[in-house]
Structure 1
Amino acid sequence: MKKRTLAFSLIGTLLFAQCKTSTPPQTASTATQSATEAPAKKELTYTTVPNDPLKTRIYTLDNGLKVYLSQYKAAPRIQTYIAVRAGSKNDPANATGLAHYLEHMAFKGSTRLGTIDWEKEKVELAKIEALYELYRTQKDPALRQKTYHQIDSISGVAAKYAVPNEYDKLVAAMGMKNSNASTWVEQTIYYGDIPSNQLDKWAMLEAERLGVMIPRLFHTELEAVYEEKNRSLDSDNNKAFEAAFAALFPTHQYGTQTTIGTVEHLKNPSITEIKKYFDQYYVPNNMAIAMSGDLEFDQTIQVIQEHFGRWQKKNDPVYRAPQEKPIAAPVVKEVFGPEAESLLLAYRFSGVKSKDAIVLRMINQILSNGQAGLIDLNINQKQAALGAGSFAEIYNDYSAHFLSGNPRQGQTLDQVRDLLLQQVELVKKGQFEDWLIPAIVNKNKISKMKSYESNAARATAFVDAFLAHMDWSEYLQQEEAFEKITKQDVMDVANRYYSNNYVAIYKRTGQDPTAQKVEKPAITPVPANREAQSEYYKLVASKPASDLQPQFVDYQKDLQEGKLKSGIPIYYTRNAENGLFNLYYVLEMGTNNDPKIGLAVDYLQYLGTDKYTAEELQKEFFKIGCSFSVSSGQDQVYVSLSGLDENLEQGLTLFESLLQNPKADKKALEDLVAGILKDRKDAKLNKNVIHSVAMVNYAKYGPKNPFTNILSEPQLKKVKPEELLSIIKSIPTYQHHVLYYGPRPMQDVTATLNTGHNAPASLKPIPAAKEFKELDITKRQVLWTDYNMVQAELLFLTKSLNYDPKMVPTIRLYNEYFDGGMGAIVFQELRESRALAYSASSRFNNASRKDRANYIMSYIGTQADKLPEAMAGMQELLNDMPLAATNFENAKASVRNSIATERVNKVGILMNYEQARKLGVDHDIRKDIYESLDALTLDQIKAFQQQFVKGQNQTILVIGSKDRLNFKELAKYGTVKQLTLKELFGY
């Protein structure tokens, strides 16, 4: 999840209970109404706000449902959010995790959707509910086991009447993207990006499923939540933030309750309590719909009124926030886990509607804005710690300011703490330059301008306002207030809130003495009922929708190609929307050509020029609303400059001066090398790097691979600044091309670059790269690595044919059918039916370049004690793909509708062209997919699967705790070999 303001913020990336299932409800009476009982159309009034950049219309239906609409026609799609003011802070203290459970249940349908015989099904569901109420009161293990066996048995009977994933199948066929939901401290949000011609179907479907809570397939979905909990228990970041919240808020539910809930409450769920929660909070006067995209206001609100207007208004939910006592002295806590050590500091602030919370946003940017903040310059630029940052979490009742840092080799966490506290003291004393606040205001305006090119960002702003109980005008006025903040305001607020009242969380590397695990219950797989359809499903599916025609990128018309001096190609697309630009120099060379390139690129960020120090240079860029970056990969270097186009010349001058005249800094290089070595050490503690990067590279190429193609420690320490300066200066001297997206005409850009881009008259050819041959997988093998974790994660890897554009349409449809979302085969079978994992996927991945192989990559993350069933389940699907005509037709419709409503535009045109060139394709490959769809059959997909997937040799990559892994089971799938970290990392 992206970083979002207010309700959707950075912590959400770490702690949101983001699920592959969710949605909001209506009242029980709604579900019994006929779909044809449309209320008479009525004129609906709306409010607007002067000078609103989004030109929003805000409606309130008679039942209290708030509706925010914004028109933005970049593509024939609409971003939809349905928000409920109900999150984990509203959970009963004796049933935490309840809001999150409910979010999962919202995807299960209604009394009409997801069932083939509701009258029979509801009898069995009532029995299951009663048994869960009994189960949660029982203490004797034998009695609990007996009751759970009854639950499992009756659930099997009830499942015969259920049609799993009907909602998911329908939205997939509609072409909805990113169908999902999330629960956090004070909200649950259901979202999806729909084609604009599917508005009526969407409203019909959402009003139905969110109008009543049906605990269908409850015990298998509960197991998915168990897996989600286990994943959180394996996350060191999650542990640190939970500890910080608990210390900041010892009384308020922000700290006393977690979103997923306690292990004890997870083991003892109450369907009855979930129903009560639904009835109290899932009422229209406590909910909002936020939409932005290619919509017509009058038509859209009439559709919403027709379907959501039936929801019945109830009493407004009441919540009284517990009051926290002041923190009188530092609260220090330790958490343990296998990853690298780190420090988290936190301060408590007032809630979202206070002026202090607005000033907090400014303080956060003064400390860390990615370029010229105090932490950016005094810690990161000077490499005083391995990495430090600042972010604010602004909630309704309270807010929190977090400072984080990672230590260098030999540095203590206390020393990192002191560095961070020193920056806070500078803020309190006003010891930052006067231009910084206006520059932050300017940056904020640029960020808003950029974000409002996104329907998701627009709709998110509406949700943020609604969750904060703010009128839209009040929300916009906060931006005005932000722009008026003075240095004195910052100092006053800082001195009120920052004292000896912080929370310090020391994340240590080591065994967690409080480690927990949700044990595997005995679950009998439930039938998938793939070909079954409810009558409501048929009704929605048969509803006609107008056709939308696709638009494909025409490389001859949609971008311009020109030449700069020295014959440098330039590719251009005009920005007709705002005054921002993106400029790239692209070199087809990278670390495969020379590992020192990566080091040189990293070194550049710590260098100044003959005119500016490194710190001054960052300040100069920040002042003019521009930023630069240089990044290197295995086979490319991207040099980029972006910002306000009116300042392009100034930015280009600064940028080019750095490339032409970087000033050597021996200490900066020594610190950089030391930091790289510490990073390498920390990487060996990170399970994601170990499994997804190191092990995958080892499996594809062997022990010598692009990932291990790095300078050794002795080589690193021998590198001289002059060597790296030579590489930096040489970047513009090699053959390269330029990309520009911005508002000025091509001829003006060419003139500017011919003057400002320094390149020799004759460019050098790109040097030969080191070749890494992809290994053929000639036998079945299992490679495993030991890591202290609750779960086990498995990746099944198969090498296939090289990239072939003729195969792309078949591969796209196969992926959509087999693994295209929550209604597809893999998710249905492994999560919904067998309850084996929270996350499972299998895709036939096209190569990124024409001379490289495609790979089949299948993933499942599960409890270690489910390893035998999980491996068998995935292998069964790969070798004997189930055939389901309904799923296939839905997959075909999904691909068709998605492509018909996709619009590759703006800077995306340039990136689309770049990718096509790498693949040796001279046109938008989506055109081939779209035009091939009608002719493709399920038999062809099956033949593809039989030829390229079934029975193929695999390398299975396993990461997990050696004490929990079942090696006898692993041996069934090939030769088992343990990989040491030295083998994987090469150091």
Structure 2
Amino acid sequence: MPVKKSLSLFFVAFAFTFTQCKNEAYQTQSVPDTTASTASPAQKEYKYETVSGDPLNARVYTLDNGLKVYLSDYEDAPRIQTYIAVRAGSKNDPADATGLAHYLEHMVFKGTTKLGTQNWEKEKAELDKIEALYEKHRSTTDPALRKKIYHQIDSISGVAATFAVANEYDKILGAIGAKGTNAYTSVEQTVYTNDVPSNQLERWIALEADRFSDMVPRIFHTELEAVYEEKNRSLDNDRWKVFEAVGAALYPTHQYGTQTTIGTIEHLKNPSITEIKKYFDTYYVPNNMAVALSGDIDFDQAIRVIDEYFGKLQSKPVPEFKVAQEKPIEKPVVKEVIGPDAENVTVAYRFPGFNDHDALVLQMISGILYNGQAGLIDLNLNQQQKVLGAYAYDNQMKDYSDFTLSATPRQGQTLDQAKEMLLAQIELVKQGKFDDWLLSAVVNDYKISKMKAYENNSRRADAFVSAFIYGSDWADYVKRDDEFANITKQEVMDIANKYLQNNYALVYKKTGTDPNAQKVEKPAITPVPVNREVQSEYYKAFMAKEAPALEPVFIDYKKDITEAKLKSDVPLLYTKNKDNGLFQLYYILDTGSDTNPKLGLAVDYLEYLGTDKYTAEELKKEFYKLGTSFGVSSSGDQVYVSLTGLDENFEPALALFESVIQNPKADQQALNDYVSRLLKARNDAKLNKSVILQQAMVNYVKYGPKNPFTSDLSEKELKVVKPQELVSIIKSIPTYEHRVLYYGPRETDNLVATLNTGHHVPAILQPVPTEKVYAELDIKQPSVYWVDYDMVQAELLFVTKSMPYDKTMIPVVRLYNQYFGSGMSSIVFQELRESKALAYSAYSFYSTATKKDRSNYIISYIGTQADKLPEAMVGMEELLNNMPLADANFEIAKASLRNSISSERITKAGILFDYERAKRLGLDYDIRKDVYQLTNDMTFPQLHEFQQKFVKSQPQAILVIGSKNKLNFKELERYGKVQQLSLNEIFGY
């Protein structure tokens, strides 16, 4: 669904970021708190801690060298989510070298003295020269001399790179079937992530232990350029600038506010390899690290192997971090951020850190104010449509926490008016003017969120990381749930009055040209070789070791989905939830807003309507009390009506759910308010560069001016729509042919009986209207379309229309994407980022249609500095037309696909939605079976043939968004006729 068809874009909080047991000799004892137990008497005894009532049934070990190990066995698939966490983030950066922790994170992917090198002795000699030159460069102020030194760095870097092997770490992870290989740096921590097949656990542990014992900053200056690009992206992100302004206002003394994770431009221009090495040696030590695993784990085997490899790391004293004590804020600290995005206002308060009980009460205050359903902001501001959108969230850190509220004003509303409405909600909390039941409902919602989260190994392992980083014993971390449930209303009022006074940071985000706009200048960089065909001895030895094989498990739609019929021949598709007491229920219609634009308006309008028994506000409260949530959404060709939550409340929730659809009460004022907000949201969308490029421009190129994105009702049409007309559309939804999907703990007979009683449908359903299909335009001639946008970078998409969906192409397409343009070991990433430092983000993939009879497309993306755009375009075009042959990469791509599929399991509600996707493509089986069976015997000539036929020299539409003053139009003309698109053209209004 196009963003501009919904207001949800404006309700999303900007989170704080970076950038069943088996084979056990002893079972965990049931004890009141924490106990020490023994895993196995063989060879070495490992003591571990467990906590009574722990939903993760975790074991927490501490190795002799101080390394913390958290293990949780959750066998959703034969895979293991892994996190390696280091208690060191940007707050630990030296004040004169900010951004160091983040840049080190990048370096840890570059290999060691064994991995990623052909000849370490020769490479080291050149790297030592580069390090010395950077120190000289850092201490030199004369511009001409600095340029000369950098030229030397660039020259010697080319020599050093001849001994390196780029991305060997990523190649290994790809070959063994790892997913999500990445890392992030924040204020407290640096965390390295992988999701690996369970049969590859020992190989992964051996690789990681080597990686964290030895860091080599190779290919340094090209990676530094990638960090420059990341910095430029932050400078183009108004939300990030607001976030930094809030930090600076709340923390004028602490590193949370005095230095940013990416670092200052000045420090990025003057990096120190010597300081990076010191940081690694100081903080990357086992007694300052944790290994957190959740998945298909044998506890005894896992801890033994972790100890075998990680136990060799030597512990060292870690410097104590001295927490800067902030003075009380006596009056609002006001800041202003100017940029091209839509205006908004942010209010933020300072609270104690995570381990302080007051921070836990803050979490309750946050839930009372905003929970997405029945919080004070939800009901008093969003439900009543007093602002375009508002939200609140708590961001808890170790030393301090902060609480942020934000609002986007309606048309004609000032930022101060929006601010006052936010502050009014805080006053209600301070005065205790909220329903008593809301506390227990927030607790209930929190429990449900935890249940959902702990169905995911990533979220389970992330809980371990949080406990470790915050310095919280696992027992105390688990106890927080009970402490949270026991928070009283008086306690909420006391803490709110203690911290939420006239002591806030206030940031006005205004639309305009930033007078303080900065940019990291482009240095002269000579591309370095990536040596794709070369392998280190470490790599060869690693890959020679084989792991036990895993057999793939494919979905059998007939066996894995129970099909039944409800009254009026409504199909029911059902998969049982065997894990917990949560359910998901969906009514799906195969019609959407493309066919009837008023349908999309009607389902959005429904959120603001009551029924014959309840007001809209009361409905929100009732659903929230039941631990359930309800929604209706429409895409271009489908309508989803959903109900999710606690199955124990299924019957009353279903009755309430049905009453909303059967008896919505028309409300003219609610419609007037919604139309007004929708028009404001549409105008704000024209200020969002992602919406402009990824949606408006792409739809324009695919379909022309009349397309799914511009199919909305006009302002004139919106203002004459009658509420009763929309109510009639809502009531008609269950009268059309539809199907019901259910994932939950109920038995089939019980479910059918309950739905036959509770789901109200006519005896005979009417067929859905004939779908309106927008004809896809042929892209016959190379062309360039651009939109003027005030930004530091430039972003572009290469779009090529290909043939219609053909299931026989899927295996080669999946292999092509794996080899060519997806991930850090792909050809595109290696060439454009690793070798040429032309972009922070670059990818290319052959995108298959999501519905039969629709076309596939080739989509390639580059986000780079505007002055690098010519080189970046040449680089991407060269790769698309002359795909390099790299036998090693090709074999890795094949192994990666097969290992991923063999360890992948589609489960839970995913089975139902995979079936839905398959049906839309005319498939009646799991297409992954074809990919797995055919990939292994595929040859590079076959892949090359595909590339030559469907990719090379295909006519493209190149979409560019950037500042008119920074784009090189002479270069753009080389790729086709250049045409500027106005926002009115691509948005349709």
TM-score (norm 1): 0.96
Q: Which residue among 878, 884, 889 is the counterpart of 2:886?
A: 884
Report the Cα offset of residue 446 of structure 1: 1.0
Q: Is the 8 A contact 1:124 1:158 kept in 2?
A: yes
Match of 2:113 in 1: 111
User: Hey, what's the Cα distance between the residues in 2 that align with 1:179 and 1:11?
Assistant: 26
1:382 to 381, 384, 387: 384
Contact 2:14 2:239 in 1 (8 A): no
What residue in structure 2 maps to residue 933 of structure 1? 935
Partner residue in 1 for 2:90: 88
Letter in 1 for 2:558: Q
Q: Retained in 2: the 8 A contact 1:69–1:291?
A: yes
Aligned to 2:704: 702
Q: Please state how far the C-alpha of 1:41 moved relative to its aligned partner.
A: 5.2
1:512 aligned residue: 514
Alignment of 1:476-875 (within 5 A): 476-875=478-877
Q: Per-residue displacement from partner, 1:161-196 (whole Å, max 9, x unpaired)?
A: 000000000000010000000000010000000000
Distance 1:288 1:438 in 2: 34
Secondary structure at 2:660's aligned position in 1? helix
- 1:71 alignment counterpart: 73
Q: Distance in 2 between matches of 1:959 and 1:12?
A: 24
Match of 1:147 in 2: 149
Q: Give the alignment partner of residue 181 of structure 2, picking from 179, 182, 185.
A: 179
Q: Deviations over 1:117-161 (max 9, x none)?
A: 000111100100010001011111110110000000000010000
Superposed displacement of residue 820, structure 1: 2.9
Aligned residue for 1:474, secondary structure, equals helix
Q: 1:256 aligns with which of 252, 255, 258?
A: 258
Is this contact kept in 2: 1:594–1:769, CA < 8 A?
no
The one-letter amino acid of 1:760's match is P
- 1:779 maps to a residue whose letter is Q
- Structure 2 match to 1:34: none
CA contact (8 A) 1:573 1:740 kept: yes
Over residues 300-339 of structure 1, what are the superposed CA-to-partner deviations in whole Å (9 max), with x where a residue is unaligned?
A: 0111111111100101331001000000001111010001
The aligned counterpart of 2:36 is: none
Letter in 2 for 1:682: D
1:771 to partner: Cα distance: 2.3
In 2, Cα distance between equivalents of 1:597 and 1:580: 30
Matches within 5 A, 1:314-463: 314-463=316-465
> Aligned partners of 1:12 and 1:476: how far apart in 2?
26
Moved more, 134-143 or 882-891: 134-143
Q: What's the offset of the Cα at 1:449? A: 1.1
Partners of 1:592 and 1:346 lie apart in 2 by 41
String of CA shifts for 1:736-781, please: whole Å, max 9, x gaps: 1110001011111111111111111111111123221000111000
Q: Which amino acid aligns with 2:499?
A: Y
* AA partner of residue 294 (structure 2): S
1:204 corresponds to 2:206: yes
Name the residue aligned to 1:32. none
Instruction: Give the aligned CA root-mean-square deviation in angstroms.
Output: 0.9
- The equivalences for 1:158-177 within 5 A come to 158-177=160-179
Could you say which residue in structure 1 is the equivalent of 2:972?
970
| Segment drifting more, 727-736 vs 49-58 | 49-58
CA distance in 2, matches of 1:389, 1:180: 29
Judge conservation of contact 1:413–1:506 (CA < 8 Å) in 2.
yes
Q: Is the 8 A contact 2:898 2:936 kept in 1?
A: no
User: Deviation of residue 947 (structure 1)?
Assistant: 0.4
State the Cα deviation string for residues 811-847 of structure 1 (Å, max 9, x = none). Answer: 0011001023111101000000000000000000010
User: Shift of residue 14 of structure 1?
Assistant: 6.0
Q: Distance in 2 between matches of 1:614 and 1:279?
A: 58
Which residue of the other structure, out of 292, 295, 298, is the alignment partner of 2:294? 292
Distance in 1 (alpha carbons) for counterparts of 2:592 and 2:344: 31
Deviation, 1:801, is 0.6
Of residues 279, 282, 285 in structure 1, which corresponds to 2:281? Answer: 279
Tell me how far 1:12 sits from its aligned partner. 7.6
CA contact (8 A) 1:803 1:846 kept: yes
Kept in 2, the 8 Å contact 1:365–1:440? The answer is yes
Is the CA contact 1:12–1:184 (under 8 Å) kept in the aligned structure 2?
Answer: no
1:894 maps to amino acid: S
Q: Distance in 2 between matches of 1:714 and 1:657?
A: 32
The offset of 1:798, in angstroms, is 0.3
Residue aligned with 1:963, SS: coil
Letter aligned with residue 710 of structure 2: T
Whether the 8 Å contact between 2:817 and 2:845 is mirrored in structure 1 is: yes
Contact 2:602 2:727 in 1 (8 A): yes
Aligned counterparts of 1:334 and 1:178: Cα–Cα separation in 2: 37
Partner-residue secondary structure (3-state), 1:449: helix
Would you say how many aligned residue pairs link Structure 1 and Structure 2?
A: 956
1:601 is matched by which residue type in structure 2? V
CA deviation vs aligned residue, 1:91-110 (integer Å, no higher than 9, x gap) = 00000000001000000000
Per the TM alignment, residue 55 of structure 1 is displaced from its structure 2 partner at its CA by 1.0
Aligned-partner Cα distance in 1 for 2:399–2:461: 23
Aligned equivalents of 1:12 and 1:608: distance in 2? Answer: 30
The answer as to whether partners of 1:41 and 1:302 remain within 8 angstroms in 2 is: no
Could you list the runs of 4 or more consecutive aligned residues of structure 1 that deviate by over 2 angstroms after TM superposition?
10-15, 40-43
Deviations 1:34-66 (A, max 9, x none): xxxxxx953221111112111111111111000
- Give the aligned residue type for 1:765: P
| In structure 2, C-alpha distance between the alignment counterparts of 1:934 and 1:906, rounded to whole Å | 29
Q: TM-score, normalised by structure 2?
A: 0.96
1:35-50 to structure 2, matched below 5 A, reads 42-50=44-52
Residues of 2 paired with 1:121 and 1:284: CA distance?
A: 28
Task: Using the TM superposition, name which of 205-214 and 913-922 deviates more.
Answer: 205-214
Q: What's 2:158 paired with?
A: 156
AA aligned to 2:234 is S
Alpha-carbon shift at residue 626 of structure 1 (Å)? 0.6
Give structure 2 stretches of 5+ with no counterpart: 1-11, 20-41
2:748 maps to a residue whose letter is M
SS in 1 for 2:292: strand
Work out whether residues 154 and 525 of structure 2, in 8 Å CA contact, stay in contact via their aligned partners in 1: yes
CA distance in 1, matches of 2:951, 2:749: 51
Letter in 2 for 1:524: T
Which amino acid in the other structure matches residue 810 of structure 1? V
Is the 2:336–2:508 contact (alpha carbons within 8 Å) kept by the matching residues of 1?
yes
Distance in 1, matches of 2:614 and 2:274, equals 67
Partner Cα separation in structure 2 for residue 934 and residue 824 of structure 1: 18
> Matches of 1:445 and 1:722 in 2, distance apart?
39
CA distance in 1, matches of 2:914, 2:446: 29
Task: Give the structure 2 partner of residue 894 of structure 1.
Answer: 896
Mapped partners of 1:317, 1:183: distance in 2: 19
The percent of aligned pairs where both chains have the same amino acid is: 66
Whichever residue aligns with residue 494 of structure 2, its letter is D
Q: 1:131 pairs with 130, 133, 137, which one?
A: 133
Secondary structure of the residue that 1:707 maps to in structure 2?
helix
Larger deviation, residues 205-214 vs 785-794: 205-214
SS at match of 1:523: coil
